[in-house]
């Protein structure tokens, strides 16, 4: 007889509006302009999505210098790009479609506005993440200082800064870790200015809340992409990141059902109805 296995399925999970839009941009570009189209960097961080788009006619490149056929359009990924990238595309006469998530673009505009208003800017984020590279590249080099940890914040000194201070954040961060870093910044610089509406996006916040809601009830927690054994567990939690397709979740559930008597409870912490418009080039 199969052993019982209770699964809590986190909701929301999987694709966010920015990822759906980015994938649609690649697909619509292929149908409008024909294959191939170039895509600079992984359009979203998911191998399966990238492979499926390759089969449909997308060619992924690291840099614009890797584009062999300048007559084909180039798509910029959902993570956003430094200003130098569209500038380079224009110089090379490449046509391009920008799939930057509108919530990342919001952070880009914030950085420009803060700079214009005379603030020194701290960006809370992960070094070398494409979104961070894109956000830092909205302003001349050295205009934005990266803060990765609470310790980084605590090491800052008041006389490091000549102008008023503001912070912005990457859209995809741990809500709790970021709150700690912001608290450390506020302790040190009580007048520091933060975004009017926080930069960590709704999708990141909702997925983390859903995971927190169920993690304490589970013997084991799966986020699509991680590998674990479930042989001895009686209760497991399931979720998937904002760039993971739902079919991966369903495939895993199917394989669990082979050996276990599975019951599923979906734990819904928020309803997501966010949809972003496509860029005008594709309308």
Binding residues for ligand SF4, rule: CB under 6 A, are 16-19, 78, 101, 103-104, 171-172, 201, 203-204, 242
Compute the least distance from the CB of residue 245 to ligand SF4, in Å.
14
Compute the least distance from the CB of residue 172 to ligand SF4, in Å.
5
Question: Is 9 or 19 the residue whose CB approaches ligand SF4 more closely?
Answer: 19
Whether 25 and 99 have beta carbons less than 8 Å apart is answered as: yes
Question: Is 220 or 274 the residue whose CB approaches ligand SF4 more closely?
Answer: 274
Question: Is 105 or 233 the residue whose CB approaches ligand SF4 more closely?
Answer: 105
**Does residue 131 have an active-site annotation?**
yes
Compute the least distance from the CB of residue 28 to ligand SF4, in Å.
17
Burial of 173 (0-12, 13-18, 19+ CB in 10 A): buried
Compute the least distance from the CB of residue 194 to ligand SF4, in Å.
18
Question: Is 73 or 80 the residue whose CB approaches ligand SF4 more closely?
Answer: 80
Of 24, 120, 131, 183, which residue is the catalytic one? 131
Report the residue number whose CB is nearest to ligand SF4.
Answer: 18
Residues annotated catalytic, as ranges: 131
């Amino acid at each position: 007889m199969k052993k019982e296995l209770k699964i809590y399925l986190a909701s929301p999970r999987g694709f966010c509006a920015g990822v759906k839009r980015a994938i649609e941009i690649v697909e619509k570009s292929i149908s409008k302009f024909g294959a191939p189209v170039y895509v600079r960097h992984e359009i979203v961080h998911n191998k399966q999505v990238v492979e499926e788009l390759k089969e449909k006619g997308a060619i992924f490149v690291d840099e614009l210098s890797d584009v062999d056929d300048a007559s084909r359009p180039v798509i910029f990924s959902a993570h956003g790009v430094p200003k130098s990238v569209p500038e380079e595309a224009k110089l090379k006469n490449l046509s391009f479609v920008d799939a930057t998530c509108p919530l990342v673009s919001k952070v880009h505009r914030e950085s420009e506005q803060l700079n214009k208003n005379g603030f020194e800017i701290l960006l809370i984020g992960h070094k070398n993440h494409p979104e961070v590279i894109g956000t830092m590249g909205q302003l001349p080099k050295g205009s934005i200082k990266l803060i990765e940890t609470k310790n980084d914040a605590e090491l800052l000194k008041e006389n490091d800064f000549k102008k008023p201070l503001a912070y912005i954040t990457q859209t995809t961060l741990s809500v709790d870790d970021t709150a700690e870093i912001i608290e450390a910044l506020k302790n040190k610089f009580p007048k520091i200015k933060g975004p009017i509406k926080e930069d960590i996006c709704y999708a990141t916040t909702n997925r983390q809340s859903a995971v927190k809601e169920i993690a304490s009830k589970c013997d084991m927690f799966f986020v699509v992409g991680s590998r674990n054994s479930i042989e001895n567990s009686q209760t497991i939690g399931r979720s998937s990141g904002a760039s993971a397709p739902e079919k991966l979740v369903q495939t895993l559930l199917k394989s669990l059902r082979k050996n276990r008597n599975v019951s599923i409870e979906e734990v819904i912490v928020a309803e997501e109805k966010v949809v972003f418009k496509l860029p005008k080039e594709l309308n």
